[in-house]
Structure 1
Amino acid sequence: MRPRPRRPLSAALTSAATGCVLLSGCGDAGELRSAGPTPTATGPVRLWPDLPPVTAPPYDYGETDTAPVPGVRVPAGGVRALDPVAVVRAEALAYPEAYALPDGAGDSLAKKLAGCAGRGPGQAQPSKPSACPVLRAYHRDLTGDGREELIVAVRMGRQITEVRCYMPARGSDPAELTRIMSTADQLVDVQLAGRDIILRSVSAGMPGSEYRTSWSWDEQHRAMLPTRDEIVPVKPGKADGTGKASRGASASPGGAEDAS
């Protein structure tokens, strides 16, 4: 940004300024004044500098786990031509443990998918929407390569929703579909912001607060990773999935403008 040019002093102002130099009693107009004491700048202080180096391998939470989806081929038109139910069904058959509830209980996802008969590619709805656990699919370029990814949500029961993202593979087989994100929680809301997916979930131990996690594409690990995790207060007057106040207005999965 270019600096603004100085405005030239008028003749009257210049004469007045000269008079103040020659005569006493002009006061301290225009002089610098103290803004008060300034806090001393301090850098970060390292705590427990003698901690021994870690030698045991860390616990793997599976954030970077990706997997191809067997039996699903991405058409030339991209992921919009895929049937989201067929994608979920193929992955559930290939990796049955991938869609299990945290305690391992609940009916198999294959049985629940029987209520999705009639769902086709794109945004087609099943004959009985309430019977199908696969919600409306969305499409967004999450990786920045110019191609869209497929974003799917599956109701797993016990108020748990699974969110998964799939991308067309790069390289020798661009028709291969690869899962690049998988997470499940008691979600209040899901948002798309730029190329990030933001998940809001309830907080059981902290009434009046909720968790908010942003998932972003990581080129090094070639996966969507949780890059920002926050505990935020909720605003009164908005109800979330717990019946308590929710944090402001937001775009729900059915209302994102450009996420079709």
Structure 2
Amino acid sequence: MPRSRLTRTGALSALVALLLSAATACGDAGGLQGAGPTETAVSPDKLWPMLTPASRPAYEIGEVNREVVKGVTVAGGDIRDVNPVTVVRKELDKSPGDYQGKDAPYRDTGRLMARCAAGAGHGGCPVLRPYYRDLTGDGHPELTLGFRLMPGKTTAVRVYTVEKQRLVQVMSWDDAISGVELAGRSVIIRSPSEVAGYEYRLQWTWDADQKAMLLTHDEMLRTGQREKTPHPSAPPSSSASPSPSASASTP
């Protein structure tokens, strides 16, 4: 028998003897008590074993969101040099029908971009304060930004990185949002649910193989609040594209 195992066995025997001695001296006070019968472990049942496994997804929901932002160059390679307002303007310019004109679904966002002269997070600018955190593990910060899609109470959340002086979008999500968190290599978004007392918790995590943030967790969690939310979140499968925002370095 190895020496390490002998040592552990001797120590365990001494501990058991000490506990038995204490129980004898003090009666039942402080003694070990049973927690009742242990629930029997049940193995999972595999359903429909004769069903042929699917080889491709039934729906295209855009699991990998990765796109080079045209017209934005990061000459020094520092993403902090990129103006978040400029980045949002580039996205809005790609879909003018969504942001321009009286019938555009997010016409107020397009109109209020004129108030962004002081920068993101100031005045009536719909672009929120940017956050910088290393989400890819390469030692350089990524840019996490959000902007309000108005009218309505939907928020767009985006993550960008820099590759060879190019700005690359690696995550995109639009939803009614309760809170956003940055944790490790992940972005966590909490959204209200139409089920009273519950919320959605979605987590995107950096994947080095895909070079993008992948949706790695999709949960409905209890919040303890039972009031029905007036603006339910759409389930991830129907979307087009983690508490207050986490503390991160600012520009």
TM-score (norm 1): 0.70
CA drift of 1:43 comes to 2.7
May I ask how many residue pairs the two structures share in their alignment?
215
5 Å matches for 1:30-179?
39-54=39-54, 58-76=58-76, 78-94=78-94, 96=96, 105-107=105-107, 109-119=109-119, 125-126=121-122, 129=123, 131-157=124-150, 158-169=152-163, 174-179=164-169
Q: Cα offset for 1:87?
A: 1.0
Higher relative contact order, structure no. (Cα contacts within 8 Å, ≥ 6 residues apart): 2
1:216 is the counterpart of 2:209: no
Q: If you compute each CA radius of gyration, which structure gives the higher value, 1 or 2?
A: 1
Instruction: Tell me the distance in 2 between the aligned counterparts of 1:259 and 1:134.
Output: 17
Give distance in 2, aligned partners of 1:252 and 1:81: 25
3-state SS in 1 of match to 2:210: coil
Structure 2 residue matching 1:183: 3-state secondary structure: strand
Q: Does the aligned pair in 2 maintain the 1:180–1:223 contact within 8 Å?
A: yes
Q: Return the offset for 1:62.
A: 1.2
**1:191 correspondence with 2:185:** no
> Residue 29 of structure 1 aligns with which residue?
none
Question: Could you say what secondary structure the match of 2:107 adopts?
Answer: coil
Q: Distance in 2 between matches of 1:8 and 1:155?
A: 61
Q: Is the 8 A contact 2:130 2:144 kept in 1?
A: yes
Q: Give the Å deviation of 1:113.
A: 1.3
Between stretches 109-118 and 185-194, larger displacement belongs to 109-118
Other-structure match for 1:25: none
Percentage of pairs with the same residue? 38
Amino acid at match of 2:112: K
Superposition RMSD on alpha carbons, in Å? 3.6
> Does the Cα contact within 8 Å between 1:114 and 1:132 map onto a contact in 2?
yes
Contact 1:181/1:223 (8 A) holds in 2: yes
8 Å Cα contact 1:188-1:240 kept in structure 2? no
What's the offset of the Cα at 1:106? Answer: 3.0
Please state whether the residue corresponding to 1:179 is helix, strand or coil.
strand
**1:234 positional shift:** 1.1
Q: Which whole-Å CA distance do the structure 2 matches of 1:216 and 1:139 have between them?
A: 16
Instruction: Tell whether 2:182 aligns with 1:225.
Output: no
Deviates more, 1:34-43 or 1:74-83: 34-43
Counterpart residue identity of residue 152, structure 1? L
> C-alpha displacement at 1:94, in angstroms?
3.5
Q: Is the alpha carbon distance of 1:9 and 1:143 closer, same or farther for their aligned partners in structure 2, counting shifts above 3 Å?
A: closer
Q: Deviations over 1:63-109 (max 9, x none)?
A: 21211111111242611121100111123223557989xx9723174
Q: What are the ranges of 5 or more consecutive residues in structure 2 without an aligned counterpart?
A: 18-33, 232-241
Match for 2:173: what amino acid?
T
CA distance in 1 between partners of 2:184 and 2:212 (Å): 17
State the match for 2:244 in structure 1: 252
Higher helix share: 2
- Give the Å deviation of 1:110: 3.6
Residue 182 (structure 1) aligns with: 172
From the superposition, tell whether residues 114 and 104 of structure 1 become closer, same or farther in structure 2 (CA, over 3 Å).
closer
Query: Take 1:8 and 1:200, find their aligned partners in 2: how far apart are those partners?
Result: 46
1:10-49 equivalences under 5 Å are 39-49=39-49
Aligned pair in 2 of structure 1 residues 35, 97: CA closer, same or farther (>3 Å)? same
Q: CA deviation at 1:164?
A: 0.3
User: Where in structure 1 are there 5+ consecutive unaligned residues?
Assistant: 14-33, 244-249
CA deviation string 1:15-54 (max 9, x = no partner): xxxxxxxxxxxxxxxxxxx987655544322101122343
Q: CA deviation at 1:141?
A: 0.7
